[in-house]
Structure 1
Amino acid sequence: MPTRPMPTRRFLLASAVPALTSAPALANPVDGFRGFLNSVRAEASRAGIRPATLDSAFAGVAPNQKVLDRDQHQPEFTLTWARYRGLVITQKRIIAGRQAVAANRMLFQRVEQRYGVNAAPIAGIWGLESSFGTGTGDFRVVEALATLAWQGRRASFFRGELMAALKILDHGDVAPNGMTGSYAGAMGQPQFMPTSYLRYAVDFEGNGRRDIWTSRPDVLASIANYLAQSGWRPGQSWGQAVSVPPGLDAPGRDARRPLAEWARAGVRPVGGRWVATSDTPAGLIAPDGPGGEVFAVFGNFTAIRRYNPSDFYAIAVGLIGDQVLT
């Protein structure tokens, strides 16, 4: 989920696991929330958002206790890379990804021609964020964001996202009842936060709306546009698994050397061949530390991390994309 809070070595399973405890019950929610919404309406009006948009956006909106429960009591599990990999890179997901890519092969080709991003990283993100569009969240985004902007831990952040959501509605890209997502406001199949949507979502279908909920062309092109604007380099890989000789440390993604230099130090590609040229700058990452898997990562790894700043996430995107395209 771009710009939304992302796990690094922790994988937050709040969307899949019920809260272990309940957040405190809302005190006098109706009056306080109504006053909050009035202040948001005033701010939105000053920003030029039409009254009719605000009426429809806030119709039936109320404080959502489930949202606060998720926000305040997220069950957190500190995972190793091996455990994380086992949870997110499953055979079921790979099979579903191959089917999704096969069913949309021409669309992926058109997207690559436009944005210079091939199918693999797009499919990897699409698969991780929403299981190829099958799990996008069913919270009403305006209600979730309004609740978090009112009483959440990061009220200022979520108020900004709420204002962005209102701008999206005012533009007519989606109706309020169609603007659904996660408890934290991440929307549609790419799970864009509203501010990310405003920056990166595109109308690839050409119907005047940027529909990341139901339009597959808009979904895939929006992910590609995000990566392209994050520095994706056409024709290059994100990285690959490698073996290292005993005693050689993996100094991390930012300690880059040409692949030829790593090769002289005894680093070898798993699978028998390098996927980049010998002069390609590469960092070495050992996500579980010495004795675990090691990956050589290239410049496009950084582009994936701009979508989500977790090494675990970026490696998983790369591996899922590589596997569904084989």
Structure 2
Amino acid sequence: MAKNSAHLILFTLIGIFITAIASPGFAAKEPFDQWLAKLKTEAREGGISQTTLDSAFANVQLIEKVVKLDRKQPEVVQTFQEYMAQRLPQSLIDSGKAMLKENRTILEKVGQEFGVQPRFIVALWGVETRYGKYTGGFSVIDALTTLAYDNRRAEYFRKELLLALKILDDNHIELADMKGSWAGAMGQSQFMPSSFVNFAIDYDEDGRRDIWTTKADVFASAANYLSRSGWKDDQTWGREVTLPKGFDLSLIDLKIAKPMAEWEALGVRKADGSALPSRQLVGSLVQPKGGNGQTFLVYDNYRTILKWNRSTYFAMSVGHLADLIGDG
């Protein structure tokens, strides 16, 4: 009898373990109602009005799809070349040129004020949301509540949720219009609430930092982010290069930076085989994973783009799109 009971307990535990793996579920350690009550208390103590809290959480939902997306481990199934071809179709390039021309006056004003070339503002806009066409359909409050309640990255998303409530409380956006990605990235610039608080600009001075519908605010906010993150408007992001036979591959590392003359002496050349620029910018060599050895010499602005999104593919796509858009 004891042996059978032990087997039963073992099989039960195995079943629970398998179920936990198969279903994303929630890793929260307390009932949602209790958790939400504590969050509201913290928010009130932080200065959020009761009116905002009542409206924000009146119909709040935990979204299982958000948990699944957060737990999903991204797999690189595309080569760098396939990724670039898919993310930068000719239609995106053509639209980018048109957007630069259409918004040239405000882009040049913003670019001069913040020290960011307009083509890079447009490129970020294009890569992030296809020039505002695809900004995400998730309720930011629902998404962030879900991720803050799920304990995997609770502390980070709890802070983002509290900041999102502040954004609502300050009347920058209506609750129904506060839409974004599954992770809570918002508007045409896809700012997390913390990025909004730190970098969003009310450029048209209407009392609202509107990164959802006001282009002037979108452009100025993106430019402010880049500017305060170290952008240099007298430099580009990088360029494709070729390496000589027998090149020391250990030098291909973002942590290794050398002036142009040193790379030139090591045999590094532009993609067309010509000499590197004579200006002694400091650069690093990068080979995107899955890029079949394709090599780029990147500068400080590339590192700044990585602060926006820590993805080599993302940074490369922004740089390439800016080059393809050109100055119009």
Q: What range describes the TM-score normalised by the shorter chain of this pair?
A: 0.7 to 0.9
SS of 2:184's partner is: coil
Aligned pairs (5 A) from 1:196-275: 196-248=195-247, 249=249, 250-270=251-271
- Cα offset, 1:143, TM superposition: 0.8
The amino acid of 1:159's aligned partner reads R
Who is 1:279 aligned against? 280
Counterparts in 2 of 1:272 and 1:221: CA distance versus 1, 3 Å:
farther
- What are the ranges of 5 or more consecutive residues in structure 1 without an aligned counterpart? 1-20
| Post-superposition CA distance 1:14-56 (Å, at most 9, x none) | xxxxxxx98456799xx93222221111000000111111112
CA contact (8 A) 2:100 2:119 kept: no
CA contact (8 A) 1:33 1:62 kept: no
Counterparts in 2 of 1:27 and 1:313: CA distance versus 1, 3 Å:
closer
Task: Give percent identity, aligned residues only.
Answer: 40
| 1:143 maps to 2:117 | no
Aligned pairs (5 A) from 1:88-99: 88-99=87-98
Aligned mates of 1:25, 1:252 — CA distance in 2: 39
Who is 1:174 aligned against? 173
Who is 1:4 aligned against? none
Who is 2:9 aligned against? none
CA contact (8 A) 2:135 2:187 kept: yes
Counterparts in 2 of 1:77 and 1:265: CA distance versus 1, 3 Å:
closer
**Which is worse superposed, 282-291 or 311-320?**
282-291
Counterparts in 2 of 1:180 and 1:291: CA distance versus 1, 3 Å:
closer
Counterparts in 2 of 1:238 and 1:273: CA distance versus 1, 3 Å:
farther
- What are the ranges of 5 or more consecutive residues in structure 2 without an aligned counterpart? 1-20
Who is 2:4 aligned against? none
Counterparts in 2 of 1:130 and 1:238: CA distance versus 1, 3 Å:
same
Who is 1:299 aligned against? 300
Which structure is higher in RCO with an 8 Å CA cutoff and minimum separation 6? 1
Counterparts in 2 of 1:215 and 1:275: CA distance versus 1, 3 Å:
farther
Aligned pairs (5 A) from 1:18-37: 23-24=23-24, 32-37=31-36
- Cα offset, 1:133, TM superposition: 0.7
Who is 1:5 aligned against? none
Counterparts in 2 of 1:200 and 1:27: CA distance versus 1, 3 Å:
closer
Q: RMSD in angstroms over aligned alpha carbons? A: 2.5
The amino acid of 2:185's aligned partner reads A
Counterparts in 2 of 1:216 and 1:152: CA distance versus 1, 3 Å:
farther
CA contact (8 A) 2:264 2:275 kept: no
- Cα offset, 1:114, TM superposition: 1.0
SS of 1:296's partner is: strand
SS of 2:169's partner is: helix
TM (norm. structure 1) is 0.86
Aligned mates of 2:26, 2:314 — CA distance in 1: 35
Count of residue pairs brought into register by the alignment: 305
- Cα offset, 1:271, TM superposition: 5.1
Who is 1:315 aligned against? 316
The amino acid of 2:157's aligned partner reads F
- Cα offset, 1:144, TM superposition: 0.7
Aligned mates of 1:303, 1:120 — CA distance in 2: 15
- Cα offset, 1:67, TM superposition: 1.6
| Post-superposition CA distance 1:39-85 (Å, at most 9, x none) | 11100000011111111211211212222232234563444322322
SS of 2:244's partner is: coil
Who is 2:82 aligned against? 83
| Post-superposition CA distance 1:298-323 (Å, at most 9, x none) | 11111111111222211111101110
Greater C-alpha Rg? 2
| Post-superposition CA distance 1:208-231 (Å, at most 9, x none) | 110111111111111110000110
Who is 1:159 aligned against? 158
TM (norm. structure 2) is 0.86
Aligned mates of 1:272, 1:201 — CA distance in 2: 42
Aligned mates of 2:24, 2:267 — CA distance in 1: 56
When you count helix as a share of all residues, which structure comes out higher? 2
Counterparts in 2 of 1:274 and 1:209: CA distance versus 1, 3 Å:
farther
